Chain A
């Protein structure tokens, strides 16, 4: 009995800090009514030096089109291992994509930037459509994209 309690105490003690080091973050992307087909969107993070750290989400499941997400593709070479388990459907014009992810606390206020690359059939590609610094203060503040994104925000 004592050993069970001890084990429980140890596992709880080990688990709690890890839970505290991550939080649920909702990324909300609303597209303009640009009058075209669904947009492919790559959401990824760079560090303070501008180096690619990793991807958060890919909207659009056909790897043959990833070359149109130019900045993301340059950093990853289109490697699906970067987006396995975080890939969904492309997003239609005027629609809102809402993704809730369990993200590491260390991402905020440490100089990281979240980028969105966008591409639409028959229309111009838009690398770095959105670039927003990840800070606790910036949460909830909408940012406008260059071409296809009407607003982007993250909430904690």
Chain B
């Protein structure tokens, strides 16, 4: 939905700009005191600071700043953009526990939530 709106806004803005230039070129009489739209636009462009728009998806902003979601929530969210740049860890059972000297070589971890 957002993509569609963004495309619509972008295409409308482009059309308006192109149209304005075209209209200005056609309508401005030679030697007239009025300045063309293109000239006004060029002047304004020099005066305006460059502002970068954020690409964050506002819908998820509140969620993103919070820890503690139950697994299964927001499954469509990308999972590999940790704050430190790390990927998510391998879940229990998928690989052996780390060799940190704390674990024996016996049974794999078993977990239960009541």
List A residues at the B interface (Cβ < 8 Å): 18-19, 21-24, 36-40, 45, 53-58, 60-69, 77-92, 95-104, 106-107, 119-123, 125
Which residues from 54 to 108 on chain B have a C-beta closer than 8 Å to any C-beta of chain A?
64, 66-72, 79, 81-84, 86-98, 100-108
Measured CA separation A104–B7 after assembly (Å) = 59
A40 in contact with B67 given A86-B109, A87-B90 (CB within 8 Å): yes
Partner of A18, one of B66, B79, B104, B112: B104
What residues of chain A lie closer than 8 Å to B93, measured between beta carbons? 85
Please, how many residues of chain B have a CB less than 8 angstroms from a CB on the other chain? 41
Contact A61 B98 (CB under 8 A): no
Contact B95 A63 (CB under 8 A): no
Which residue of A has the minimal Cβ distance to B102?
A54
What residues of chain A lie closer than 8 Å to B97, measured between beta carbons? 84-86, 101
- Name, among B90, B100, B101, the residue most crowded by chain A CB atoms within 10 Å (CB to CB): B100
Measured CA separation A145–B22 after assembly (Å) = 71
Contact A88 B107 (CB under 8 A): no
What residues of chain B lie closer than 8 Å to A55, measured between beta carbons? 98, 100
Measured CA separation A7–B92 after assembly (Å) = 34
Name B's interface SS.
Answer: loop
5 residue pairs, one from A and one from B, having the closest CB atoms: A22-B104, A54-B100, A63-B82, A65-B67, A121-B66
The answer to the question of B110 belonging to the interface, with a C-beta cut-off of 8 Å to chain A, is yes
> Can you pick out 15 interface pairs between chain A and chain B where the beta carbons lie within 8 Å of each other?
A37-B66, A37-B68, A55-B98, A78-B83, A81-B89, A85-B90, A86-B98, A87-B90, A99-B111, A100-B110, A102-B104, A103-B104, A104-B104, A120-B67, A122-B66
The answer to the question of B113 belonging to the interface, with a C-beta cut-off of 8 Å to chain A, is yes
Measured CA separation A18–B103 after assembly (Å) = 11
The answer to the question of B114 belonging to the interface, with a C-beta cut-off of 8 Å to chain A, is yes
Measured CA separation A61–B88 after assembly (Å) = 6
Measured CA separation A141–B71 after assembly (Å) = 30
A86 in contact with B66 given A98-B114, A102-B106 (CB within 8 Å): no
- Name, among A38, A63, A107, the residue most crowded by chain B CB atoms within 10 Å (CB to CB): A63
What residues of chain A lie closer than 8 Å to B95, measured between beta carbons? 84-85
Contact B102 A65 (CB under 8 A): no
What residues of chain B lie closer than 8 Å to A62, measured between beta carbons? 67, 69, 79, 82, 88
What residues of chain A lie closer than 8 Å to B86, measured between beta carbons? 63, 66, 78-80
Contact B90 A121 (CB under 8 A): no
Contact A22 B90 (CB under 8 A): no
